[in-house]
Amino acid sequence: MKSNPAFRLAFRYFLILVGFFAYSKWNSQGINATQTLFCLGISAFISFIGLLILYLKKKSDPQADTFRLLILITVQLLSYLSVCLALIYTNQPDTLALHLLALALSNIVVQTVFLVKSIKSHE
């Protein structure tokens, strides 16, 4: 029995966030706990919006799924870059913006691989 793809993707997001949290605790030269929670909260919110874009009123049409994936990646990139621009503009540490960009890159790569595999399995 296959589980819901939205839950599988959400679980992958959760694993990325836990991995990032563990890395930030291990790397003592990085960012502090408040900044780590800020990055995790922003990333979780953007990921949740992405899940809504992908799976709200979803039909099993590979072409529509492809367009949803393109819209999702565009929205996520603009969201992450806007937050990073706000961090830079407010004179926050550069490591905070770099950590958020690393988290964004890992989220986007993992979700793209997952979604491309799921679109190919429908063909």
Spell out the per-residue pLDDT of the chain, length 123, in tens.
456 777 777 787 788 878 777 776 666 566 677 887 888 888 889 888 888 887 777 777 777 777 888 888 899 999 999 999 998 999 888 888 888 888 888 888 888 888 778 777 765
CB distance 75 to 50 below 8 Å: yes
- Write down the pLDDT at residue 1: 40
String of DSSP letters for 12-43? HHHHHHHHHHHHHHH-TTS--HHHHHHHHHHH
Per-residue DSSP letter, 4 = P
Question: Which of 33-36's residues contact partners 24+ apart within 8 Å by CB, and which partners?
Answer: 35/92, 35/93, 35/96, 35/99, 36/99
